[in-house]
Structure 1
Amino acid sequence: GKVRTWGVSGRVTAAGGLRYTPFVVERRDFVYAGEPWSEQLNGTFRLDLRVYLKTDRKGRTGMWALDLQNATGMQNEAFKYYDQRKGEVVTKYQLGLIPNLSYRIEF
């Protein structure tokens, strides 16, 4: 026969933001200024959730899983850069909610 098991798991990640060297923009060129690594991006928070169905059969195991990465959809800062077209410093963010459906078989 086969044995089915449902499960739920999660992971919480909270971390301080990455450190960077502040910069000043002058005439569409940027110049690093100040103490190296003296500024810091905002801290990050991320909640990952997983719901799965595991099926054990003689000689093999299969598992369907639905993962929700960054389930709360938090906009966490990834990095800053100078956009020459806009002429300003732009903050880029990590991806929001990422759903992922997967199937794994072990034998």
Structure 2
Amino acid sequence: MGAFNPVHLSFPVLIGAGGVGYIRHWGERDDFDNNWEVDEDSYAFFVFEPGVEIEFNVIEWMRFALVGSYRFTSDVKLNYKNSVFGETAYGGTPIASTDLMRSYNVGVVVKFGLF
């Protein structure tokens, strides 16, 4: 083990892909006879999330960290189906904005181990 430095900075980066979907639901979830769910739309996206993390040594084998990052994603294009049980009023209408997955993130992390 090296010297016991009380504060550390790290720069985590997430690079990957993900997916999101939307399900339209009618009726009560407990009423199986009058319960309808339709997979409205789904979409895959690319994600890149750089961040900064400041870690504080609590004891030799435990660290506490505050994390901040920003998630960049490709556009997510979710649209209502053209026809669901005879409905056509919303066909092709976007469900949400294309940047719905882009956002600032903050968090708290507790790490255990030999550092």
Q: Give TM-score, length-normalised by structure 1.
A: 0.52
Tell me whether 1:57 sits opposite 2:54 in the alignment.
no
1:65 is displaced (CA, Å) by 0.3
**1:38-58: CA deviations, max 9, x gaps?**
xxx775222112210011122
1:42–1:101: structure 2 CA closer, same or farther, 3 Å change rule? Answer: closer
Match of 2:70 in 1: 68
1:86 is displaced (CA, Å) by 4.5
Structure 1 unaligned residues grouped into runs of 5+: 19-40
Note if contact 1:2-1:57 (Cα within 8 Å) is conserved in structure 2.
no
**1:5-27: CA deviations, max 9, x gaps?**
10111122246998xxxxxxxxx
Matched position secondary structure for 2:11: strand
Q: Give TM-score, length-normalised by structure 2.
A: 0.49
User: RMSD value over aligned CA atoms?
Assistant: 3.7
Percentage identity across paired residues of the two chains: 10
Note if contact 1:2-1:58 (Cα within 8 Å) is conserved in structure 2.
no
1:85 is displaced (CA, Å) by 8.1
Structure 2 unaligned residues grouped into runs of 5+: 22-41
Tell me whether 1:9 sits opposite 2:2 in the alignment.
no
1:99 is displaced (CA, Å) by 0.8
Mapping 1:1-107, distance limit 5 Å:
3-14=6-17, 44-58=45-59, 60-69=62-71, 71=72, 74-77=74-77, 79-82=78-81, 86-92=89-95, 93=98, 95-105=100-110
1:45–1:86: structure 2 CA closer, same or farther, 3 Å change rule? Answer: same
